[in-house]
Amino acid sequence: MGRAIRVSWAGGGGRGFGLNRNTLGAVVCSLGSRPGREKQGGERRVSPGAGGLGPAPEPHQPGSLKTESMERTERSTSGREMNGTMADTKTRSGSDELIFFVHGKKIVEKNADPEMTLLTYLRRKLGLTGTKLGCAEGGCGACTVMLSRFQTHTQQLLHYAVNACLAPLCSLHLVAVTTVEGIGSVARKLHPVQERIAKAHGSQCGFCTPGIVMSMYALLRNNPTPKMADMEEAFQGNLCRCTGYRPILEGYKTFTVNGGCCGSRGRENGCCMTNGNGVEKTSEEDVDETTALFSTTDFAPFDPTQEVIFPPELMSLSKGQRSHSLCFHGDRAMWLQPDTLEEFLRLKWKHPDARVVVGNTEVGIEVKFKNMVYPVILAPSFIPELNSVTHTEDGVVFGAACTLSHMGAVLRQTVETLPPHRTEVFLAVLEQLRWFAGQQIRNVAAVGGNIMTASPISDLNPVFMAAGCKLTLMDKDGSRVVQMDDSFFTGYRRTVLRPPEILVSIEIPYSQKTQFVSAFKQSPRREDDISIVTAAMSVTFTPGTNIVEDLRLSYGGMAATTVLAKRTANRLRGRCWGEELLQEACSTLAEEMTLDPSVPGGMVTYRRTLTLSLFYKFYLTVLQKLQQQGVNVEEVKSDCVSATELYHPQTPSSVQIYQAVPKGRSQDDVLGRPMMHLSAMKQATGEAVYCDDVPLYENELYLSLITSSKAHARIISVDTSAAERLPGVVCFVFADDIHGSNATGPVVYDESVLADGQVTCVGHIIGAVVADTQLHAQRAAKAVKIQYEELQPVVTIQEAIAAQSFYQPIRTIQKGDPEAGFKQADHVLE
Ligand code: FAD
């Protein structure tokens, strides 16, 4: 069998924890040989060797685009990817044309597949492989591209960074897409954003570079003179795992107005900014050391007026657009994009199980990693009622499809115009948004999506619940308004909404004069991470006193739904805000906020403790605010004041000191000089070719790994029958299929290539599926059913001794007779 195979892992990774197994995927190999491996740009490549089949089809050059007419007629091998089946040249009956622009060129797609992401389309259909597939779940930012659309209701152009790996292709009607290839190239000219990251040594393996470039580019398109804080915010959703953030930020702070500096941290005698160009002055004694890794004089100036314009044709299409519904059919799913609320409600009534999709940041994960299939998708992005913002007497009403970025912008503006006592709830929402995912996610994720996902660790639902937000729900027969309280969430990821109902809007109320609101999120990592415990608290006092009139304490991460600590709140109502109340609150909360020892997520004691410590922070914060209002309360002790401060990181500053090249050394002698990575420019423009960017081979097959879901177990049976019935499956490979040795290992061959009867960790490779597309291989791998008999794990040293579980052979160093020595000793310490 001599067909080339690409390997990918079937499992999903933990969100927000960096690159997962998918990152390691993309190994091109040929069956029947054991070729040598080489490491390349963060991906492992196994060279095709002699086993590869025939000549490769003509690659699409990075940056080259097929035009409208080409799109209509041409289906290359890459068409397989597009539809998830072998080339399908026919327009699916009833599908509308999807019109969008990539780098100013119009694309009319007649076979838009509702399950296809923008990333797959860019990489496989257009050959634009500069945008990378990293984690595939919106967590690493390697796939960042910029979308631009003309908003008819505001008559404004909107540019925003998104994760192409989650962006549904069908959501791009009348959108302009800009990828890293569209802003500059080595042959043409690098964009300053590309040039500076390269020259500042901010690109090493380069896999994250295109994403970082595009996040910076999108920021500059919206704000040509950003502050350091804007830049940090723009990078919240971009991970770098080899270069390190210092050189990236060093290079990019040259775009900012308040550029940051070393803060005199690097050297005893001075700050890097005192010597021009951010270069630290070296003292007389330290002539051997230097800090200048690059010179800003080498950088091309940044001129925001020279940016690529929004396609004029798209502008007139958008302006002249008579809104009309869209429908796209795929193999497994249908995308319906109605243009009126009435039509939307009618469709939801007709398809009660349809998924409403806005940002796809939840649904996309479910489809990719949880094997979910949603035959009918309803997209409300054309519906004015779901996208509007209204200021009412009681608060601000956001349509359910408003993105989190938009909501944040509106709330920030409102906070600036209203008296502070009216904006306590808004500030709490803004504080949660600060730590909510990365900007690419917030730019597309909707507020309604967060509520309706009903995740127990949602960051916003606790605030909405503590603030008593009102939700408008609607079906084709009418609407109802419900308050977000503990009856709204009826179970794990369930709400009171009936199947034909949709969420139309949420009203976030103004706060009252004597009301204080706070929100907290505790997660393993500050930015772009899921919560361990999240909380929001609201207290209202009888005017002029510290007597609690109303109290709502809402927690996420403490049950299967967001919960209200009602018992505690009831006990504290009518009490004075002081030490006694604190004691009572802590003991009641400890009783009320319990967790089963086997609860998913673990960390039971930590989570329970957090509920109390977060309340303590709230207690002190409120005490301080009451004091500021002149209410007679205990003073916050000076050693506790820091607990009332919200954590906002300082602007990062850095300096790197290295040995200077002695004066007089030839400029051609590179030894000791900070030389730019030779491929950095290609990496920054997306032209560097990584393993997964290699054009597809004719008849190429894909291999997806079947991995263990148990930590320590005996494999009882492997059932491939369901997987065999799936389209595109070619064969399966298990330990029995290995003719030679199944043993492997770096020095000692004490591991198996494929698990043989027993697994010893989650992720242990049991076998593999070979199929015609990556998607088919992944789907089939997930459909393989494995029965396990769980075995007792050996975790501690004591357990290992008891089980006589030792690494063999046991090696000992012995001199003399220790037993006799101990017997003769006066004292024996054990
Ligand atoms: P979609 O995926 O489009 O839809 C989600 C669900 O809501 C679907 O079931 C859909 O049917 C339903 N729905 C949407 N709108 C309506 C409506 N109008 N009526 C009825 N049902 C509706 N969440 C956090 O709380 N905090 C985080 O820090 C966080 N970080 C994340 C990081 C990453 C990398 C990712 C991928 C997700 C993260 N999330 C986080 C989860 C997610 O981003 C949010 O829940 C988001 O608000 C969902 O919005 P969406 O528009 O993308 O939802």
Centroid of ligand 1 to alpha carbon of 560 (angstroms): 17
- The answer to whether residues 276 and 295 touch, using CB atoms and an 8 Å cutoff, is no
For residue 527, report the distance from its CA to the centre of ligand 1, in Å.
Answer: 17
3-state SS of 505-537? EEEEECCCCCEEEEEEEECCCCCCCCCCEEEEE
Atom of ligand 1 nearest to the CA of 400: 18
Say how many Å lie between the CA of residue 407 and the centre of ligand 1: 14
**345 Cα–ligand 1 center, Å:** 20
Q: Which residue out of 22, 236, 388, 450 has the highest number of ligand 1 atoms within 8 Å of its CB and is therefore the one to mutate?
A: 450
Angle, CA 499 vertex, CA 494 and CA 504 arms, to 5°? 85
Average pLDDT over residues 226-230: 94
Helix (H) or strand (E) holding 627: helix 604-628
The atom of ligand 1 lying closest to the CA of 358 is: 3
Q: Which pLDDT does position 271 carry in this prediction?
A: 52
Closest CA to 677 of 243, 193, 90: 243
Ligand 1 mutation target, pool 15, 341, 362, most atoms within 8 A of CB = 362
Span 495-512, average pLDDT: 98
Q: Name which residue sits closest to atom 43 of ligand 1, judged by CA.
A: 361
Give the ranges where 545-603 is alpha helix by DSSP (H): 566-572, 579-592
Q: Is the pLDDT of residue 474 over 60?
A: yes
CA 619 – CA 640 distance, rounded (Å): 11
Nearest CA to ligand 1 atom 38: 437
What confidence category does residue 260 fall into, taking pLDDT thresholds of 50, 70 and 90?
low
Mean pLDDT of 389-415: 98
Task: State what percent of residues in the chain have pLDDT above 70.
Answer: 85
Q: Are 402 and 389 in contact (CB under 8 A)?
A: yes
Are the C-beta atoms of residues 53 and 4 closer than 8 Å to each other? yes
Q: Is 400 a pocket residue for ligand 1 (Cβ < 6 Å)?
A: yes
Strand 144-151 vs strand 533-541: parallel, antiparallel, or unpaired? unpaired
Ligand 1 atom closest to the CA of 459, numbered from 1 = 25
Closest by CA position to 10, among listed 726, 737, 700:
726
Q: Are 211 and 243 in contact (CB under 8 A)?
A: no
Q: Which of these, 31, 41, 44, 358, lies nearest to 205 by C-alpha position? A: 41
What mean pLDDT comes out for the span 389-398? 97
Structure tokens at 610: 């957090």
Nearest-angstrom CA–CA distance, 410 and 17? 30
Peptide bond into 809 cis (omega under 30): yes
Q: How far is the CA of 222 from the centre of ligand 1 (A)?
A: 25
- Per-residue pLDDT, averaged over 318-338, amounts to 88
Nearest CA to ligand 1 atom 45: 450
**Is 383 within 8 Å of 357 (Cβ atoms)?**
no
Contact 535 CB / ligand 1 (< 6 Å): no
Out of 452, 464, 471, give the residue to mutate to test ligand 1, the one with the largest number of ligand atoms within 8 Å of its CB. 452
**What average pLDDT does the segment 409-423 reach?**
97
Sign of the CA dihedral with 190 first, then 194, 200, and 206 last? negative
Contact by Cβ (8 Å): 585, 570: no
239 lines ligand 1 (CB under 6 A): no
Highest mean pLDDT among 22-26, 38-42, 558-562: 558-562
Separation of CA 422 and ligand 1 centre (Å): 28
Task: Give yes or no for a contact between 181 and 685, defined as CB atoms under 8 angstroms apart.
Answer: yes
Q: How far apart are CA 514 and CA 499, in angstroms?
A: 39
- For ligand 1, atom 23, the nearest C-alpha belongs to 458
What's the order of all strands across the beta sheet hosting 563-564? 515-522, 533-541, 548-556, 563-564
Three-state DSSP state, 467:
coil
CA 442 to the chain's CA centroid: 10
- Gap from CA of 133 to ligand 1 centroid (Å): 21
pLDDT of residue 48: 27
Distance CA 205, CA 240 (A): 10
CA distance 88 to 76: 10
The answer to whether 357 touches 377, Cβ cutoff 8 Å, is: yes
Output the pLDDT for position 784.
97
Phi, psi for 83 (deg, rounded to 5): -100, 0
Largest CA distance in the chain: 100
Q: How far is the CA of 775 from the centre of ligand 1 (A)?
A: 23
* Residue 299: pLDDT over 90: yes
Nearest ligand 1 atom to alpha carbon 523: 28
Atom 37, ligand 1: residue with shortest CA distance = 361
* C-alpha of residue 507 to centroid of ligand 1, in Å: 18
Cα of 264 vs centre of ligand 1, distance in Å, is 43
Residue 90 has pLDDT above 60, yes or no: no
**Local confidence band at 290 (pLDDT 50, 70, 90 cut-offs):** confident
Distance CA 33, CA 29 (A): 9
Please tell me which residue, 151 or 32, carries the higher pLDDT value: 151
**Does the beta carbon of 456 lie inside 6 Å of ligand 1?**
no
Lowest mean pLDDT among 181-185, 475-479, 525-529: 525-529
Q: Please give, one letter per residue, the 3-state secondary structure of 201-256.
A: CCCCCCCCHHHHHHHHHHHHHHCCCCCHHHHHHHCCCCCCCCCCHHHHHHHHHHHC
Q: Is the CB of 501 under 6 A from ligand 1?
A: no
Atom of ligand 1 nearest to the CA of 458: 25
Q: 36 or 479, which is more confident?
A: 479
From ligand 1's centre to the CA of 438, what distance in Å? 13
d(CA 456, CA 236): 23
Q: How far apart are CA 397 and CA 507, in angstroms?
A: 4
**pLDDT at 262 exceeding the cut of 70:** no
Which atom of ligand 1 is the closest one to the Cα of 504?
A: 18
Tell me, what's the pLDDT at 64? 35
Specify the higher pLDDT residue, 512 or 653: 512
Q: Kindly list the strands in the beta sheet with 334-337, ordered across the sheet, starting from the edge strand earlier in the chain.
A: 326-329, 334-337, 376-378, 355-356
Of the candidates 220, 213, 214, 229, the one whose C-alpha atom is nearest the C-alpha of residue 255 is: 220
532 CB within 6 A, ligand 1 = no
Q: Report, in angstroms and rounded to the nearest whole number, the Rg of the chain calculated over CA atoms.
A: 30
Higher pLDDT, 424 or 258: 424
Give 492 Cα–ligand 1 centroid separation in angstroms.
15
What is the mean predicted confidence (pLDDT) over 618-642? 94
d(CA 410, CA 422): 15
278 lines ligand 1 (CB under 6 A): no
Please tell me if the CB atom of residue 437 comes closer than 6 angstroms to any atom of ligand 1. yes
Confirm or reject: Cβ of 179 under 6 Å from ligand 1: no
**Cα 764 to Cα 9, 739, 761, 790, distances in angstroms:** 11, 20, 5, 14
Q: Where are the alpha helices (DSSP H) in 445-578?
A: 447-453, 461-466, 566-572
Distance from residue 568's CA to the centre of ligand 1 (Å): 30
Q: Is 463 in the pocket of ligand 1 (CB under 6 A)?
A: no
Q: Count Cβ atoms below 10 Å from residue 738 Cβ, excluding itself.
A: 14
391: β partners = 396
Given phi > 0 = left and psi -120 to 50 = alpha, else beta, which region is 97? beta
pLDDT in tens, 783-822: 999 999 999 888 899 999 999 988 888 888 989 999 999 9
| pLDDT score of 86 | 29
Helix 192-199 vs helix 209-222: angle between axes, to the nearest 10 degrees? 130
Ligand 1 neighbour 180 (Cβ under 6 A): no
For residue 435, which of 539, 556, 538, 516 has the smallest C-alpha distance? 556
- Residue 82 CA to residue 122 CA, distance in Å, equals 10
808 C-beta neighbours (distance < 10 Å), count: 6
Residue whose structure tokens are 């199929």: 771
Length of the chain: 830
Pairing of strands 355-356, 376-378: parallel
> Which of 20, 361, 460 for mutating ligand 1's site (highest number of atoms within 8 Å of CB)?
361
Alpha-carbon span 744 to 767, nearest angstrom? 15
Return the sign of the alpha-carbon dihedral for residues 169, 213, 682, 693: negative
Question: Would you say the CB of residue 471 lies under 6 angstroms from ligand 1?
Answer: no
Q: In the predicted model, what is the mean pLDDT of the chain?
A: 86
Residue of 353, 316, 456, 344 whose CA lies nearest to 401: 344
Report residue 82's pLDDT band, with 50, 70 and 90 as the boundaries: very low
Is the CB of residue 701 below 6 angstroms from any atom belonging to ligand 1?
A: no
Confidence (pLDDT) at 287: 61
Residue 131 has what DSSP assignment? S
Query: Over 90: is that where the pLDDT of 564 sits?
Result: yes
Report which protein residue has its CA nearest ligand 1's atom 18. 503
**What distance in Å separates the CA atoms of residue 335 and residue 357, rounded to the nearest whole number?**
9
CA distance 234 to 572: 42
More confident residue, 23 or 546: 546
- Cβ 495 vs Cβ 452: under 8 Å: yes
